[in-house]
Structure 1
Amino acid sequence: MRMTVSGASASGGFDMVDLHDPMLYGQGEPHSVWRHLRRHSPVHRNVTADGRSFWSVTRHQDVMRVLRDYEVFTSARGNLLTTLGTDDVAGGRMVTVTDPPHHARLRAPQVAALTAGVRGTGGTRMREAVRALLRPALDGSPWDLARAATRLPLMALGPVMGLPAADWPALGRLAFAAVAPDDPVYAAEGTRTTLATAHHELFSYFRAALRSRHRSPADDLLTRLLPPAGEDTRAAAELAVYHCYSLLLGAVTTLPHTMSATALAMAENSRVIEAMRQGPQALATGVEEALRWSSPAAHVLRHTTRPVELAGVPLSRGEAVVAWLGSANRDEAVFPDPYRFDPGRTPNRHLAFGYGPHYCLGAALARASLTAVLVELVDAVEAVEVCGPVEHLNSHFIAGINRLPVRLTPRRRAAH
């Protein structure tokens, strides 16, 4: 997704821009549209090309309200625009499409299973993997950073879950297809076919993997997700499949796109990489700014459960409401100079991981992994130079980059 705000993509009028169109995010300038809406129509009715409608919420304070107030803005009918006009079949079975109090009962096994996994993610294993990822590019030859970054989610999650490395490329591609079904890199025969195929193959894979762990337990997240003895084994095992699916999609949503967007910011401003090299605190604030800047999950969907007024706009019961996280993270009322990547930005009240009861389960895992990535990047690289056309992902959900050709200048070490 382009970070520019020239307004060039809205020559026909901002009110006419279709925020549901995945092409806008690959070819246009959604940030221009969001900025206009924040200023002039912060709760704005959109109608898709095929006649479906939803309300766009673009200001930080209003997005927070939608995410916090689950009694009025439910996630149970679906949490992504890909389900607009239908009810998500995973409602009540997957954490992201279940409201409290049942949400807490679904969330608990994932929290327990992830706790042990997070401890090792930012350590030696992850840093060594990132080092190996960067090594081929340190000779100064052109390197597609975005393509290489697609390996990151399974590098982080694969060992934690106990998934064989040989399976990682196929799992990664299926997961990308599930979150970006409109992009030609991942699309099969249309959005619905791509989604259906990706869902079927990922669920089949995790069912088989969990059956294998049931027969042969191991010290990994898959084993920790298995139901304890005495529970309704079939129902609990199917719930574990949903847990695996949502964790994988969360990793695919965050890691590669945050790395790519941050590397692009480093290429555009050489002071960014230098600032993030000034010690642990500088790196920690830099990680948070990378998350705000990239806002890899661009939106979440909710539906109103009763009539409500939002920012002075009356909404009826059953309305689809889209909270644009990418817009909230550029709200001038919260972030001074929001279109500048500031590694030292504090406070940084970004909503990259959401807010309220649905705050991202994998946030700690993502932060640990991203910290490992950026530690190695700023340690090994002096400068990033873009050396070819940048191609952005066609997706209204993932603010991603498909192609980012760069040359990395290795960091020179002082002689001792």
Structure 2
Amino acid sequence: MSDTVRLTRHADVVSAAKDAQSFSSRTSRHLHVPNGMDGDEHRAFRALVDRQMTPTIVDDLQPLFDEVARAIVAALPLDVSFDAVGDLGEAYAVRAQCRWLGWPVEVEDELREWMARNYAAARQPDATVNARIAADFDALVKRQVTAHRVARGRGLPITPDATHRLLDERVHDRALTDDEIVSILRNWTAGDLGSLARCVGVVVHRLAERPRWQQRMRELARGIRSGGSDAVAGRRELDAILGECLRIDDPFVANKRVTTCPVTTQSGVEIPQGAPVLLDWTAANVDPDVFSDRFDPQAHAAANLVFGIGPHVCPGRDLSYAELRAVVIALLEGSEMIEPARDQHPTRFEAPLGGWATVPVVLR
């Protein structure tokens, strides 16, 4: 097999991400719906996933995310350091995810334990260990799917949660198989839990280190909560700031592809057919040919690749912003100032993960 080719230039990454014919997403023998699919198969399943995250659904979920975020923040100590990744980001990600999926609160501890095991496995990859961790997670998901099916069979009231909606979906004029349902839920859950926690860490770290931007976010948060005429514009600006924080310190490191034919990228990288390729989002998002070294949310928004681009662009982009917006606003409302903790230093995740592993901060 050819050596892995890592694309780091913004133009190369964008071109490859948009060219699903030359850069296939079928990089695993395991079922990944829809991420590991190409062509018509991907389009059919992607349309199904998109139906679960429409603007209307996301808007309806915002009050739920706000409620969860306020409860998590209210439990944080004042004037005492805590970890913005573990104590805030992970706790919020797990609870918010369980609520919108319709999973019981008892699953929260199990999910956090799984996250810790998954992080450890990522640092020291072992095929046997990774397979066991993946199997354990699939078993957890299957239990939730079974519980939802049992509730339907007993004629119990059906709540409008994401798992029930998925059970009602059809593709190619047929119901989804259990393996397809589990794959979609695995993608939503396993993919979102750690990434949302790391996003919280990235944003809180920057706000704690940059009081001027923290103050601007506080002003925007007040305007959004007031619901006045400037609320829409305020939310748009706040989301742009969140996006710029994530662009500069992108926690979504890379995605895999494999070439279906020989390719020469715009920067002149020659890639043979059948070569494994990594689209390095982190490097592309700080490409000096595209981005200045300034923190500039408006100027950099159009080229920001945090959520990808092309046919495999993240379908949960709006959902992620809604979740992140809720927890950041709750944190700002629950404090007068977010400060770095004295005598404690943030630590980075080790490759292949991105972002901060710990971010000690203090709320005043």
For this structure pair, what is the TM-score category when the shorter chain's length is used for normalisation?
A: 0.7 to 0.9
1:393, distance to aligned residue in structure 2 (A): 1.5
1:69, distance to aligned residue in structure 2 (A): 0.4
**Residues in 1 aligned to 2:177 and 2:330: alpha-carbon distance in whole angstroms:** 39
8 Å contact from structure 1 (residues 127, 372) kept in 2: yes
Matched, 1:405 2:364: no
Give CA-to-partner distance per residue, 1:256-298, whole Å, 9 cap, x none: 1111111111222211201222321431321221331332110
- Give the fraction of aligned pairs with identical amino acids, expressed as a percent: 23
Cα offsets for 1:34-67 (capped at 9, x unmatched): xxxxxxxxxxxxxxxxx97211111111100111
Q: Does 1:56 align with 2:56?
A: no
Match of 1:196 in 2: 131
Residue number among 87, 95, 101 corresponding to 1:155 in the alignment: 95
What are the Cα deviations for residues 117-169 of structure 1, in whole angstroms up to 9, with x where unaligned? 4233322x322322232234452011122111112222222111101111012
Deviations for 1:156-212, whole angstroms, at most 9, x for unmatched residues?
A: 2211110111101212332464466233xxx6xx53233212211111122222122
Which residue in 2 is equivalent to 1:330?
286
Which residue matches 1:307? 262
Per the TM alignment, residue 365 of structure 1 is displaced from its structure 2 partner at its CA by 0.8
Contact 2:201 2:358 in 1 (8 A): no
2:148 to 213, 222, 233: 213
Q: Does 1:97 align with 2:46?
A: no
Residue 76 of structure 1: aligned partner: 26
Query: TM-score scaled to structure 2, two decimals?
Result: 0.85
Deviates more, 1:239-248 or 1:343-352: 343-352
Distance (whole Å) between structure 1 residues aligned to residue 194 and residue 313 of structure 2:
14
| Distance of 1:179 and 1:65 partners within structure 2 | 31
> Which structure exhibits the higher relative contact order, with contacts defined as CA atoms closer than 8 Å and separated by 6 or more residues?
2
Partner of 2:195: 254
Cα distance change of structure 1 residues 241 and 367 upon mapping to structure 2, 3 Å threshold: same
CA RMSD after TM alignment = 2.4
Matches within 5 A, 1:12-23: none
- 1:180 & 1:364 partners in 2: Cα distance? 29
Summarize the Cα distance change of 1:154–1:283 in structure 2 as closer, same or farther, 3 Å threshold.
same
CA distance in 2, matches of 1:333, 1:228: 44
One-letter amino acid of the counterpart of residue 138, structure 2: F
| CA deviation map 1:191-241 (0-9, x unaligned) | 3233212211111122222122122132211111115699766x6222011
Q: Could you say if the C-alpha distance between residues 384 and 344 of structure 1 is closer, same or farther in structure 2, counting changes exceeding 3 Å?
A: farther
Q: 1:114–1:221: 8 Å Cα contact kept in structure 2? A: no
Name the CA distance, whole Å, in 1 between partners of 2:95 and 2:148: 20
Deviation at 1:343? Answer: 4.9
Which secondary structure state, in structure 1, belongs to the residue aligned with residue 94 of structure 2?
helix
Change (3 A) 1:282 1:121: same
Say if 1:261 and 1:293, in contact at 8 Å, map to a contact too: no
Q: Deviations over 1:6-48 (max 9, x none)?
A: xxxxxxxxxxxxxxxxxxxxxxxxxxxxxxxxxxxxxxxxxxx
Instruction: Report if the CA contact (8 A) 1:207-1:238 is conserved.
Output: no
| CA distance in 2 between partners of 1:303 and 1:229 (Å) | 29
CA distance, structure 1, for counterparts of residue 18 and residue 119 of structure 2: 24
1:377 and 1:341 map into 2 onto residues whose CA distance is 22
1:259-408 matches, within 5 Å, as: 259-279=200-220, 280=234, 281-310=236-265, 311-337=267-293, 340-343=294-297, 345-381=299-335, 382-387=337-342, 388-396=344-352, 398-408=353-363
The CA deviation at 1:354 is 0.9
Q: Deviations over 1:378-412 (max 9, x none)?
A: 3333232233132221231x313222222122xxx
Q: Matches of residues 99-114 of structure 1 in structure 2 within 5 Å?
A: 99-114=38-53
Q: Partners of 2:302 and 2:334 in 1: how far apart?
A: 27
C-alpha distance after superposition, 1:331-376 (max 9, x if no partner): 1222211xx4445555442111111010112111101111111212
Segments of 5+ residues of structure 2 without an aligned counterpart are 153-157, 221-233
The 8 Å contact of residues 227 and 237 in structure 1, kept in 2 or not, is answered as no
CA contact (8 A) 1:175 1:198 kept: no
Distance 1:249-1:176 versus aligned 2 partners, 3 A rule: farther
> Structure 1: which 5+ runs fail to align?
1-50, 78-87, 410-416
How many pairs were matched up?
338
